[in-house]
Amino acid sequence: MELSILRDPVRKVVEKIVERGAEFADIRIESAEGTYLELENGVVKTSRSGAESGASIRVLYRGCWGFSTASSLNIEDIEKAFEDAYRAARSLATVSRCNRRVVKLDP
Protein backbone atom coordinates (compact mmCIF):
# COMPACT_ATOMS: atom_id res chain seq x y z
CA MET A 1 0.00 0.00 0.00
CA GLU A 2 1.27 3.44 -0.88
CA LEU A 3 1.21 5.23 2.47
CA SER A 4 0.95 8.70 0.96
CA ILE A 5 -2.73 8.03 0.16
CA LEU A 6 -3.39 8.07 3.93
CA ARG A 7 -1.94 11.55 4.44
CA ASP A 8 -5.07 13.61 3.71
CA PRO A 9 -7.64 11.31 5.39
CA VAL A 10 -5.47 11.03 8.52
CA ARG A 11 -4.91 14.80 8.57
CA LYS A 12 -8.70 15.29 8.59
CA VAL A 13 -9.09 12.85 11.49
CA VAL A 14 -6.37 14.67 13.47
CA GLU A 15 -8.03 18.03 12.76
CA LYS A 16 -11.35 16.71 14.12
CA ILE A 17 -9.66 15.47 17.31
CA VAL A 18 -7.90 18.81 17.80
CA GLU A 19 -11.17 20.70 17.23
CA ARG A 20 -12.59 18.67 20.13
CA GLY A 21 -9.90 19.95 22.47
CA ALA A 22 -6.86 17.72 21.95
CA GLU A 23 -3.58 19.58 22.22
CA PHE A 24 -1.69 17.09 20.08
CA ALA A 25 -2.30 13.90 18.10
CA ASP A 26 -0.02 11.72 16.03
CA ILE A 27 0.20 8.40 14.25
CA ARG A 28 3.07 6.02 13.70
CA ILE A 29 2.64 3.53 10.91
CA GLU A 30 4.50 0.26 10.66
CA SER A 31 4.57 -2.19 7.81
CA ALA A 32 6.56 -5.42 7.84
CA GLU A 33 7.09 -8.36 5.54
CA GLY A 34 8.31 -11.74 6.61
CA THR A 35 8.78 -15.38 5.75
CA TYR A 36 8.13 -18.30 8.06
CA LEU A 37 9.86 -21.64 7.53
CA GLU A 38 9.31 -24.76 9.60
CA LEU A 39 11.99 -27.39 9.24
CA GLU A 40 11.89 -31.01 10.27
CA ASN A 41 15.16 -32.91 10.06
CA GLY A 42 16.55 -30.26 7.74
CA VAL A 43 13.60 -30.48 5.34
CA VAL A 44 11.15 -27.62 4.84
CA LYS A 45 7.84 -28.79 6.28
CA THR A 46 5.90 -25.51 6.07
CA SER A 47 6.60 -22.16 4.48
CA ARG A 48 4.59 -19.00 4.18
CA SER A 49 5.23 -15.33 3.71
CA GLY A 50 3.16 -12.25 4.14
CA ALA A 51 2.93 -8.64 5.13
CA GLU A 52 1.39 -6.94 8.13
CA SER A 53 0.63 -3.30 8.74
CA GLY A 54 -0.69 -1.32 11.65
CA ALA A 55 -0.58 2.00 13.45
CA SER A 56 -0.09 3.37 16.93
CA ILE A 57 -1.92 6.52 17.94
CA ARG A 58 -1.22 9.12 20.64
CA VAL A 59 -3.53 11.93 21.72
CA LEU A 60 -2.75 14.58 24.34
CA TYR A 61 -5.79 16.12 26.04
CA ARG A 62 -5.45 18.59 28.95
CA GLY A 63 -1.97 17.26 29.65
CA CYS A 64 -3.01 13.58 29.69
CA TRP A 65 -1.95 11.00 27.11
CA GLY A 66 -4.26 8.49 25.48
CA PHE A 67 -2.96 5.61 23.37
CA SER A 68 -4.49 3.17 20.94
CA THR A 69 -3.58 0.95 18.02
CA ALA A 70 -5.03 -0.11 14.69
CA SER A 71 -4.18 -3.54 13.30
CA SER A 72 -4.77 -2.42 9.75
CA LEU A 73 -4.27 0.72 7.68
CA ASN A 74 -7.95 0.96 6.81
CA ILE A 75 -8.97 4.59 7.42
CA GLU A 76 -12.03 3.49 9.42
CA ASP A 77 -9.80 1.47 11.78
CA ILE A 78 -7.39 4.38 12.10
CA GLU A 79 -10.24 6.79 12.83
CA LYS A 80 -11.56 4.43 15.53
CA ALA A 81 -8.09 4.21 17.08
CA PHE A 82 -7.85 8.02 17.20
CA GLU A 83 -11.27 8.14 18.85
CA ASP A 84 -10.24 5.48 21.40
CA ALA A 85 -7.02 7.35 22.23
CA TYR A 86 -8.95 10.62 22.55
CA ARG A 87 -11.50 9.06 24.89
CA ALA A 88 -8.75 7.49 27.01
CA ALA A 89 -6.95 10.83 27.39
CA ARG A 90 -10.17 12.70 28.10
CA SER A 91 -11.23 10.11 30.70
CA LEU A 92 -7.88 10.35 32.45
CA ALA A 93 -8.12 14.15 32.45
CA THR A 94 -11.44 13.99 34.33
CA VAL A 95 -9.93 12.08 37.26
CA SER A 96 -6.31 13.19 37.32
CA ARG A 97 -4.19 16.30 36.96
CA CYS A 98 -1.79 15.64 34.15
CA ASN A 99 0.95 18.02 33.20
CA ARG A 100 2.40 16.57 30.01
CA ARG A 101 3.01 18.81 27.05
CA VAL A 102 4.59 18.72 23.63
CA VAL A 103 7.36 21.18 22.92
CA LYS A 104 8.39 22.01 19.39
CA LEU A 105 12.16 22.18 19.00
CA ASP A 106 13.95 23.91 16.18
CA PRO A 107 16.20 21.57 14.18
- The pLDDT of residue 76: 95
Q: Please state the rounded mean pLDDT for residues 75-103.
A: 93
CA–CA distance, 51 with 84 (Å, rounded to integer): 25
5 pLDDT band, cuts 50/70/90, is: confident
| Residues 6 or more apart whose Cβ sits within 8 Å of residue 4 | none
Reported as a pLDDT band with limits 50, 70 and 90, residue 100 is: confident
Report pLDDT digits (tens) over 15-72.
999 999 999 999 999 988 999 999 999 899 999 999 899 999 999 999 999 999 999 9
Whole-model pTM: value is 0.79
pLDDT value at 2 more than 90 = no
Contact between 22 and 65 under an 8 Å Cβ cutoff? The reply is no
